[in-house]
A and B are shown apart, each in its own frame.
Chain A
Amino acid sequence: GESVGLHLPTLSVQEGDNSIINCAYSNSASDYFIWYKQESGKGPQFIIDIRSNMDKRQGQRVTVLLNKTVKHLSLQIAATQPGDSAVYFCAENRAAGNNRKLIWGLGTSLAVNP
């Protein structure tokens, strides 16, 4: 079936290190990808997005890489801080009839050790 999944359910990093969270998708028709951060007890917060006509997009301390050949998406967080501890979700957007639908991954829990 079609799905968006994550390679690692949990990731533990040292403060100051770089973090890489991976995501695989299976539908080559998906043309838009989003990363969200969800802190405990809160709603998901938009981090960064990328369209399928791009390979890389950078934000503040975050970079999203898209490899369409292998249907792989990654989120890189530079100089990880304790405030980055959260669950990170990738989602893909694709046409579904007359609507566009977000398909969500399962999430990766990032723990930052001081």
Chain B
Amino acid sequence: SQTIHQWPATLVQPVGSPLSLECTVEGTSNPNLYWYRQAAGRGLQLLFYSVGIGQISSEVPQNLSASRPQDRQFILSSKKLLLSDSGFYLCAWKVGGTDTQYFGPGTRLTVL
């Protein structure tokens, strides 16, 4: 069966520090991968998605970036965090050509 992992689970970072969040998927090949951000008590905002290694599409301009160095690895990065980057970051995957996305456990990021 397929599983999706995210780490770290929680992170507290100072403003201006770098960020690296990692997401990996097991049990499938060539998944579509997604990064979402969720503010407290709010819905999901799509940040990036990838349909293959090295292929990244950005949905919202911001100081975050994403990379997909391996088939089942998706990384969310920032060079300098802002206070507004605080939130719950969710990684999701789906089989290409299908519709249902499956989510990881999330990373709670607090920028102070």
Chain B positions within 8 Å of A20 at CB level: none
Is B99 touching A100 in the complex (CB atoms < 8 A)? yes
B105 at the interface (CB under 8 A from A): yes
A65 at the interface (CB under 8 A from B): no
Is B106 touching A89 in the complex (CB atoms < 8 A)? no
Mark B residues whose CB is within 8 Å of A: 42-44, 46, 49, 51, 57, 90, 92, 99-106, 108
Is A89 touching B105 in the complex (CB atoms < 8 A)? no
Q: List 29 A-B pairs, Cβ < 8 Å.
A: A32-B99, A34-B100, A36-B103, A41-B106, A41-B108, A43-B90, A43-B103, A43-B104, A44-B90, A44-B103, A45-B103, A46-B100, A46-B101, A49-B99, A49-B100, A89-B43, A93-B99, A99-B49, A99-B51, A99-B57, A100-B99, A102-B99, A102-B101, A104-B43, A104-B44, A105-B43, A106-B43, A107-B42, A107-B43
* A-B CB contacts (within 8 Å), total count: 41
Contact among A34, A36, A41, A105 with B99 in the assembled complex (CB-CB below 8 Å): A34
Bitwise, A37-70 to B at CB < 8 A (1) or not (0) is 0000111111001000000000000000000000
**CA–CA, A27 to B110, complex, Å?**
35
* Number of A residues with CB within 8 Å of any CB on chain B: 20
Minimal Cβ-Cβ distance residue in B for A109:
B41
Known A-B contacts: A44-B103, A107-B42. Give 4 more (CB < 8 A): A32-B99, A46-B102, A89-B44, A105-B43
Among B46, B49, B92, B99: residue with most chain A CB under 10 A:
B99
9 A-B pairs with least C-beta separation: A43-B103, A104-B44, A32-B99, A106-B43, A93-B99, A43-B106, A44-B103, A104-B43, A43-B105
